[in-house]
Each structure stands twice: as structure tokens, then as C-alpha cells.
């Protein structure tokens, strides 16, 4: 499509939606006013919206998008990154040395690092330890990022520490230090304050992006480091090759601190070895989970999917090394002694010894929960398969999991089953490549929407995002839809059982907005074969309203604006209303997953 067609499409889209753009972030004066109100209010008369005030003030800091741009500018100078983070940390009242008290497990990787952290934290909690866990992003509420004993800190605790850190940083501004830390930097500093003052026994810290330049890398003496599976992601920040990405991930290695990694492709593993040698860090490979299992009794995992086995194996090793280095005994019998660390780049890293996990570890693996990752929700006739996969390898794992999980589900007796894909993707990811991987799932409908829970997010500061405009995110959804339609057309031309797709009319020969009848819905103007139907909605809520057709007892649909008379929407609505089973895969973005979970499980917003 030419640039004129794109512009016309955007204009038509915005006129069609008639939805106001997201409000700009509150001005700095708002933050100062809220801070003054907090300082002047007595505890007994604290404002009712302390938590929301805190989140709104947090949103006045530099956004994550700005932070990423800053990282790109400074990535050639890691010392500048370190000094900036150190300055903010000291202004907040902490020194880098104070973080040594947290007995940190520092984990990076491209995919699975959050799951590794969740497994590790749950295992160590089973030993009676008070755990801290810092992760990103959040799914529903910001406070999910900072957990104690596996639970997000309360709204009251979040407000307490937020204002404590925010006011300290405000009060230490001067001509040389006039800035406030970016969103993610601030939350990292706040997490350190929470963990220190709440006196956790250890903190599991997940790297935000990369490693070398990530603000969590202010940690100078972790107890142990871990690297989950590596792949291509965040290329504009970390580099466009897996070797460059591996170099960034290996940047968390510290002198004398053992590091463990799952098996990696040869080239990134070589880079990790180089980083280990450069940092005088003993690096070990983790054996497969099979090595920890008894033949007659395989380990059960709380997280579904075969790919979680390598994450669990890494977690077992991280937990054991932490326990060993902290002086805990009776933690499982080693099957082999620890090999001497080999820092030579010419030799592969030695294999960490397997061991027989004790009951606390076995139960920890089984009890691990991590929302939005290979999660299944059974809601009446609807079954939701929810996974925040957003890289090529993680989408491949998601497809394997979904197909296996759907295969194991009970089949409807009348055979009427409808499969729906709910998808969005953000950033610099290759949408067409990701969607192509999803074709084997044989979806009857593909639904696209931005990571916006409701058309208006007023009153819910946790879900506000000032990095993008409604126009941009909807244009991206329409592009995603176009990729999908082209994939289905190519598949249809190769499949004799599918009728040829009708020619698509509209702007630039791509698509056209349907006539205005009050529905916030876009779709191709011609009916397509059943398994190439696709729809675009302006928010998650409207997408779920169409998918569920009032049949999900846990979803409270907004006031109906009327169903669109277009054949794709109306015929699909009939099928969805009559189907015995509806299977919905939600994937492509953790932010999309968070919005869906917020609407399907109201308790997550409490």
C-alpha cells in the first residue's frame, strides 16, 4: 500500500472510531502536589486513593519508551549507565554496598527468565526463607513487580515505599542532579528499599532488558547468576545478532560469582564463555531435568509446557548453589562432585553436577505459579489458553503447548468446536514471522486488538500507557491483520479444500472500514473462508465481548453498542453462540495477556 493509502486508512480509522486519544501524562506539578498532600496528611486521614495517586505520579516519570531510547544513546558507555544508576540510588538513601545484604540471585535470558525466577523463588520459600522477587513487566497492577513471599506487596506497602523513595529523590535535587530516574529505574530502586527494610533473606532479581546496561546490573555481589535460553529480541537495544545479545546477557557476570546457563547454541555459548573469562566468573552448564529425576517418579511442574523443563533445571541449580553458598545443609545428595571451573574459551563450560532434589525442592517446582505463562482457564464452554510468548522461539513453544493442551481436552460430542486466536505484538518484532508460526493451530478466527483494556483507561492508572497513540496501535493491528490475511491466502492457494479468498476492496486495495452502525469494529469487506476470517477491535474488552458472546460466566461485558452486520462478525457470532466448545489462544504480548486476565479474573484488580 502506498503512503497515501496508509494516511487515508488512518484518517478513516480515527474518524470511524471517534475515540479520544489517551490523555497526556499528568504534569510535574501534579506529582509535586500529590507529594505535598502526602507529606501534610496525617495517617488517620490519608487520601482514599493513595495507591492510585502513587501510580499516577509514577507515570509522570520518564516512560519506558524514553528509557529505552536513553539506553540506546548510552549503550556505548556502560560506565555512564552505572554512574547514573548509582547516583539515583545514593540520592534515595542507599549505597551500592547495601545491596550486598540482599543475597541476590540475578537472572537474565531472552525467554523463560521470569519462569526461572518464579521456580527459584518458590523452591527457596519452601525452605522457610523470606523471599523477595523483582520482575517485569506487570500484568494487571504495578505492585506485581515487587513481591514478598510470592505475593505482590499490598497497595498500602507500595504507597508507603513509593512516597518514601519519591520524596527523597525530590528533596535531593540540585543544579547538578535535577533529573528523576526513569520508570523502570525508579521501580528497581524502590524494590531494593522494600527488600532491605522488610528484611528478606534473599532477593530473586529478574533483569529488565539485556544485562550489561540494565539498571539491575548495579548489583555488584550476587550470590549466583543464571542465564535462561537465548534468542532474538529487543534488537534495537541489544543488537541484531544472537552473539550481540549473548554479550549483553553475559554482562551480569561478576568476579568469583558462579553463573549457570541452560544449553545454548554454539555461537552465543562461545560469547557467554568469553564474558565469563573476561569477568573471572566460573560458568557452568545445567544438565537436563531428566538428570534430576528418578525413572519411576518424574518431577511435576506447576508451569505447563515442555520448554519449562529447562527453566526448572536451571532453577534447581540456582537454588542449590544459593543454599550451599549460604551454608544450608541437607539440601539434596550430589550425584557427582562439582567440577573445577574452566575459564578457557577453548573448552566448553563444565556441566554442573546433578543431584537428588529433596522434598522442599520437589514441592516447590510443583507449587510454582506464574500468571500469563502457559495458563489455562476453563470458563463454561470457553477454554482460554493464555501465554505471553513474543519471540520466535517462545511462539514455537507456545504452539506446541497449545496443540498438546487442546488435544488433551475433552472433545465436544457434537463436534462443534471453534478456535480463535487473539493476538497483538509490539516493538520491533517481526509480526509476519510470528503469525506464520501460528498457522498449524488451525484457527477459525483471528482477532487483533491493541494492548488497551478499555477504550478509556481513566481511573485505572496501572493500565495507562503514554508511550503510544491510539492511531499508532490500531494501525499496527490493521497491519497485523493484513499479514494474517496474506498468510491465509497463500495457504488457501496451496490447499485444494479451501475456496479462493475473495478480492479485498477498500483503501489501497487492502481493507475498508465498515459502515458506521455504532460498533467499534474493523474487518475485511468480503466474506472469507472460515479459517481465514479476521477482525480488528479497538480494545481488549470489545474483542472479548465478540469472542465470548455472553457465554463466559466470568466476563462482565460492557454495555453493548450493537453487533456489526458485516458477514464476518455476524456469521461468527452465530457460530460462537452455538458452538459446544470455544478454544481461545491469547498470545503475542504480555501486556495483551495482562489486559485479558484483568477482565477475566476480577480478583487480580483487587
Of 90-104, 168-182, 361-375, 450-464, the least confident: 450-464
* All cell numbers assigned to 427: 516493538
Which cell numbers hold the place of 490?
497463500
Task: Match 535470558 to its residue by C-alpha cell.
Answer: 109
Across all residues in the chain, what is the average pLDDT?
A: 82
* Predicted pLDDT at 317: 96
Q: Are 474 and 21 in contact (CB under 8 A)?
A: no
- In which band, very low, low, confident or very high, does the pLDDT at 528 lie, cut at 50, 70 and 90? very low
DSSP conformational letter for 139: S
**Cα dist from 285 to 227, 244, 253, 259, 338, whole Å:** 10, 20, 14, 9, 12
CB 358 within 8 A of CB 293: no
Separation between Cα atoms, residue 156 and residue 383, nearest integer Å: 35
pLDDT for position 462: 63
**If you average pLDDT over residues 405-422, what whole number do you get?**
85
Provide mean pLDDT across the span 10-39. Answer: 43
Give dist(CA 52, CA 187) in Å, integer.
Answer: 15
Given a cut of 50, whether residue 40 has pLDDT beyond it is no
Question: Is the Cβ–Cβ distance between 145 and 397 less than 8 Å?
Answer: no
pLDDT tier at 578, thresholds 50, 70, 90: very high
| Separation CA 423–CA 439 (nearest Å) | 13
Rounded Cα distance, 126 and 71, in Å: 37
Return d(Cα 388, Cα 399) in angstroms, integer. 12
pLDDT band per the 50, 70, 90 thresholds, residue 198: very high
pLDDT band at 569 (very low <50, low <70, confident <90, very high): confident
Range name among 27-31, 107-111, 345-349, 585-589 with the lowest pLDDT average: 27-31
Rounded Cα–Cα distance for residues 548 and 383 (Å): 10
Comparing CA positions, the residue from 303, 279, 415, 316 lying closest to residue 368 is 303
Query: According to the model, what pLDDT value does residue 174 have?
Result: 85
DSSP assignment, residue 352? P
CB distance 314 to 226 below 8 Å: yes
Whole-angstrom CA distances from 277 to 7, 227, 559 are 52, 16, 61
Whole-angstrom distance, CA of residue 346 vs CA of residue 274: 10
- How far is CA 458 from each of CA 15, 317, 465, 557, rounded to the nearest angstrom? 21, 45, 11, 18
Q: How far apart are CA 451 and CA 453, in angstroms?
A: 6
Q: Which residues of 587-602 are buried (b: 16+ CB within 10 A; e: fewer)?
A: bbbbbbbbbbbbbbbe
Q: Which pLDDT band holds residue 469 (cuts at 50, 70, 90)?
A: confident
Selection from 206, 180, 191 nearest residue 158 by Cα: 191
Of the listed ranges 7-16, 123-132, 365-374, 469-478, the least confidently predicted one is 7-16
- Place 410 in a pLDDT band, splitting at 50, 70 and 90: confident
Helices 78-91 + 155-171 axis angle, to 10: 100
CA dist., res. 182 & res. 109, Å (int): 22
Q: The cell 544513546 sits on which residue?
A: 73
Tell me which residue has cell 502513587.
54
pLDDT of 66 reads 57
Please say if the pLDDT value at position 78 is more than 60.
yes
Within 10 Å of residue 205's Cβ, how many Cβ atoms?
A: 29
List, edge to edge, every strand of the sheet that includes 417-423.
Answer: 375-379, 382-386, 581-587, 417-423, 445-448, 533-536
* CA separation for the pair 343, 384 (Å, rounded): 47
pLDDT band at 280 (very low <50, low <70, confident <90, very high): very high
pLDDT, mean of residues 368-391: 94
Take residue 315 and report the three cell numbers written for it. Answer: 532453577
**46 has pLDDT over 90:** no
Among the listed ranges 61-65, 158-162, 423-427, 469-473, which one has the minimum average pLDDT value?
61-65
pLDDT for position 347: 78
User: What nine digits make up the cell of 196?
Assistant: 532491605
C-alpha cell at 191: 524494590
Query: Can you read off the three cell numbers belonging to residue 159?
Result: 504507597
CA angle in degrees (0–180, nearest 5) for 485-488-491: 155
- Please, are residues 411 and 374 in contact by the beta-carbon 8 Å criterion? no
Least confident of 277-286, 341-350, 567-576: 341-350
pLDDT surpasses 50 at 67: yes
Mean predicted confidence (pLDDT) in 171-176: 87
Does the structure show a pLDDT above 70 at 233? no
For residues 13 and 513, the answer to whether their CB atoms sit within 8 Å is yes
Q: Does the pLDDT at position 443 exceed 90? A: yes
CA 11 to chain centroid: 32
| Choice among 13-27, 101-115, 407-421, 438-452 with the minimum mean pLDDT | 13-27
As given in the structure block, the three cell numbers for residue 502 are: 475473495
CA torsion angle for 15, 20, 25, 26 (degrees, to 10)?
150
Picking from 533, 547, 551, the residue whose alpha carbon sits closest to that of residue 586 is 547
For residue 137, is the peptide bond before it cis, meaning its omega torsion is within 30 degrees of 0? yes
404 pLDDT more than 80? yes
Between the alpha carbon of residue 464 and those of residues 137, 191, 449, 456, 595, the distances in Å are: 13, 21, 16, 9, 11
Whether residue 82 is predicted with pLDDT greater than 60 in this model: the reply is yes
Give me the helices (H) in 63-126, please: 64-74, 78-91, 113-125
What local confidence, expressed as pLDDT, does residue 175 receive?
80
- Mean pLDDT, residues 108-135 taken together: 96
Residue 136: name the closest of 215, 80, 76, 82 by CA. 215
User: 485-519: per-residue pLDDT in tens?
Assistant: 999 988 766 554 343 333 333 222 233 343 333 34
Predicted pLDDT of residue 21: 36
- The answer to which of 131-145, 312-326, 469-483, 588-602 has the lowest mean pLDDT is 469-483
Amino acid at each position: 500500500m502506498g503512503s497515501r493509502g496508509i494516511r487515508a486508512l488512518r484518517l478513516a480509522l480515527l474518524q470511524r472510531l471517534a475515540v479520544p486519544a489517551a490523555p497526556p501524562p499528568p504534569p510535574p506539578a501534579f506529582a509535586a502536589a500529590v507529594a505535598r498532600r502526602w507529606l501534610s496528611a496525617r495517617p488517620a486521614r490519608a487520601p482514599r486513593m493513595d495507591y492510585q495517586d502513587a501510580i499516577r505520579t509514577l507515570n509522570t516519570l520518564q516512560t519506558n519508551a524514553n528509557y529505552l531510547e536513553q539506553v540506546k544513546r548510552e549503550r556505548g558507555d556502560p560506565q555512564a549507565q552505572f554512574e547514573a544508576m548509582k547516583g539515583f540510588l545514593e540520592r534515595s538513601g542507599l549505597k551500592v554496598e547495601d545491596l550486598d545484604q540482599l543475597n541476590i540471585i540475578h537472572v537474565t535470558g531472552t525467554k523463560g527468565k521470569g519462569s526461572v525466577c518464579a521456580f527459584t523463588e518458590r523452591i527457596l520459600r519452601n525452605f522457610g526463607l523470606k523471599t523477595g522477587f523483582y520482575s517485569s513487566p506487570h500484568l494487571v497492577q504495578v505492585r506485581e513487580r515487587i513481591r514478598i513471599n510470592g505475593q505482590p506487596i499490598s497497595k498500602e506497602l507500595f504507597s508507603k515505599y513509593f512516597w518514601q523513595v519519591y520524596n527523597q529523590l525530590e528533596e535531593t535535587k540540585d543544579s547538578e542532579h535535577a533529573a528523576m530516574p526513569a520508570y523502570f529505574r525508579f521501580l528497581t530502586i524502590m524494590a531494593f528499599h522494600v527488600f532491605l527494610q522488610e528484611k528478606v533473606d534473599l532477593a530473586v532479581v529478574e533483569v529488565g532488558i539485556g544485562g550489561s546496561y540494565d539498571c539491575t546490573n548495579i548489583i555488584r555481589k550476587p550470590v549466583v547468576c543464571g542465564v535462561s535460553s537465548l534468542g532474538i529480541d529487543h534488537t534495537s537495544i541489544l543488537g541484531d545478532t544472537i552473539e550481540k545479545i549473548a554479550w549483553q546477557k553475559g554482562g551480569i557476570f561478576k568476579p568469583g560469582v558462579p553463573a549457570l546457563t541452560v544449553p545454548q547454541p554454539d555461537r552465543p555459548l562461545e560469547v557467554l564463555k568469553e564474558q565469563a573469562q573476561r569477568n573471572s566468573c566460573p560458568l557452568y552448564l545445567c544438565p537436563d531435568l531428566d538428570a534430576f529425576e528418578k525413572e519411576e517418579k518424574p518431577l511435576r511442574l506447576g508451569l505447563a509446557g515442555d520448554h519449562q523443563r529447562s527453566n526448572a533445571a536451571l532453577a534447581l541449580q540456582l537454588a542449590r548453589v544459593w543454599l550451599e553458598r549460604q551454608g544450608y545443609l541437607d539440601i539434596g545428595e550430589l550425584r557427582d562432585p562439582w567440577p573445577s571451573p574452566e575459564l578457557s574459551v577453548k573448552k566448553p563450560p563444565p556441566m554442573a553436577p546433578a543431584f537428588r532434589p529433596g522434598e522442599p525442592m520437589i514441592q516447590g517446582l510443583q507449587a510454582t505459579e506464574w500468571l500469563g505463562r502457559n495458563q489455562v482457564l476453563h470458563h463454561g464452554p470457553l477454554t482460554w489458553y493464555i501465554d505471553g510468548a513474543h519471540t520466535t522461539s517462545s511462539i514455537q513453544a507456545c504452539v506446541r503447548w497449545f496443540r498438546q493442551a487442546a488435544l488433551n481436552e475433552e472433545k465436544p460430542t457434537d463436534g462443534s468446536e471453534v478456535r480463535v486466536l487473539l493476538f497483538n505484538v509490539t516493538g520491533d518484532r517481526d509480526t509476519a514471522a510470528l503469525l506464520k508460526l501460528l498457522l498449524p493451530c488451525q484457527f477459525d478466527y483471528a482477532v487483533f486488538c491493541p494492548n488497551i483494556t478499555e477504550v478509556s483507561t481513566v481511573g485505572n492508572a496501572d493500565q495507562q500507557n503514554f508511550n503510544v497513540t491510539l492511531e499508532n496501535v490500531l494501525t499496527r493491528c490493521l497491519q497485523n491483520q493484513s499479514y494474517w490475511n496474506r498468510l491465509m491466502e497463500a495457504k488457501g492457494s496451496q490447499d485444494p479444500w479451501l475456496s479462493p479468498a475473495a478480492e479485498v476492496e477498500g483503501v489501497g486495495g487492502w481493507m475498508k472500514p465498515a459502515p458506521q452502525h455504532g460498533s467499534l469494529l474493523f474487518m475485511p469487506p468480503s466474506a472469507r473462508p472460515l479459517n481465514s476470517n479476521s477482525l480488528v477491535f479497538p480494545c481488549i474488552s470489545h474483542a472479548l465481548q465478540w469472542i465470548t458472546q455472553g457465554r463466559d460466566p466470568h466476563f462482565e461485558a460492557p454495555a453493548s453498542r450493537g453487533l456489526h452486520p458485516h458477514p464476518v462478525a455476524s456469521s461468527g457470532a452465530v457460530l460462537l453462540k452455538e458452538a459446544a466448545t470455544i478454544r481461545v489462544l491469547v498470545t503475542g504480548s504480555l501486556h495483551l495477556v495482562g489486559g485479558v486476565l484483568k477482565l477475566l479474573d476480577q480478583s487480580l484488580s483487587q
